Amino acid sequence: MEFGDNNEVSKEKRRRIIALCAVILLAVVVTVSLILENRPKPKPAQAKKFEGKKLIDLGWCKVTAEACGKGKQTIVVIPGYMEQSAATWMMVKRDISELSRVIIFDRPGIGGTQKSSKPRTSEVKAEELHTMLQKMDVEGPYILMSHEMGTFDARVFANKYPKEVCGMILLDPQPEDMMLNIEKYLPADQIDMLKKINYPDGSYEDMVKSAEQAKGATRNLKDIPLVIVAAKGIAGEQAGNEQQLKVQEEVLTMQKQMAELSSKGKFLISEKDNNIYNARYGVLGNNPELVMKSVKEMMDMVKKR
């Protein structure tokens, strides 16, 4: 009987010990949970900004893109037809990058990038640019800065993605009406040669379609700050015949009218005479100082918007 009593006491002690351990364990778990809950949480790692020159995979081809400069504002440089950005924009890239973050790229088939099987119209190029900027994780809104026929792409992009564009600088913009009425400006033999072109950046048919797309891209441009920068035609003995001079004057008139696409449009013209050597690069080669002036004016316009 005594043995049995001792056994019952021993069982009771074990139960009490187990219960006490459970309470202690629960207290420890609660305490640790509270400590973990209230301790300073590590900040999520921030994605490193795209810098330097890299290949960007668009999904159907890869393009070369470069990011440089610093600042809250981003200027996206859109090259002209068959232009390799490194060569065309080298005169102003460094100066612009001191004022803003700059994105420069080469379209498919240019500068060693892969060719694209897609049509080379401005609609497609605008979509490719949008995809590229998303892949690079570059946030807008952007200032689009384009040259010659690349201005078709800029206008289509701004019309297609108006909330992602806060301003446009169009250098020596190609008038769409000139492309759509080419027989008025070029002799028949030159038009025949043009129609045979089928470069990676687009055929003659692509150019015409791009001009049509740019002409229709007006509905979302009405209050976007816009600066048109034009260069004089080739001057002096190099200017050619009277018909060429007339064409040059018409081009300047159409470029000036282009500034009226926006209620916040400005027209700047280089007073420096152009020449054969720098005619290919227009104001970029003729008057980079004026190009930089347009950048500074645009940045001021964007701040006031």
Average the pLDDT over each of 25-39, 108-122, 130-144, 150-164 and give the range with the smallest value.
Answer: 25-39
- List the one residue out of 91, 71, 269, 261 whose CA is nearest residue 168: 261
CATH number of the domain that 173 lies in? 3.40.50.1820
46 part of a folded domain: no
Residues 192, 143 share a domain = yes
277 part of a folded domain: yes
Residues 124, 94 share a domain = yes
156 part of a folded domain: yes
* Domain that residue 35 falls in: 1-41
- pLDDT score at 111: 82
- List the one residue out of 231, 229, 224, 211 whose CA is nearest residue 149: 211
pLDDT > 80? residue 77: yes
Question: pTM for the whole thing?
Answer: 0.80
Residues 108, 9 share a domain = no
Residues 256, 194 share a domain = yes
Residues 113, 28 share a domain = no
**Residue 191 is encoded by which pair of tokens?**
């038009």
Residues 165, 57 share a domain = yes
299 part of a folded domain: yes
d(CA 174, CA 207): 11
- pLDDT score at 5: 55
pLDDT > 70? residue 44: no
CA distances (Å), origin 91, targets 9, 68, 95, 288: 96, 15, 8, 7
Residues 101, 199 share a domain = yes
Residues 22, 59 share a domain = no
pLDDT > 80? residue 283: yes
Higher pLDDT, 49 or 269: 269
For residues 74-98, average pLDDT: 89
What pLDDT band is residue 3 in, cutting at 50, 70 and 90?
very low
* Tally of structural domains, the chain: 2
Residues 182, 34 share a domain = no
Query: DSSP letters of 31-60?
Result: HHHHHHHHSPPPPPPPPPPP-EEEEEE-SS
d(CA 128, CA 107): 9
Average pLDDT of the chain?
Answer: 83
For residues 36-44, average pLDDT: 50
**Residue 177 is encoded by which pair of tokens?**
């009406």
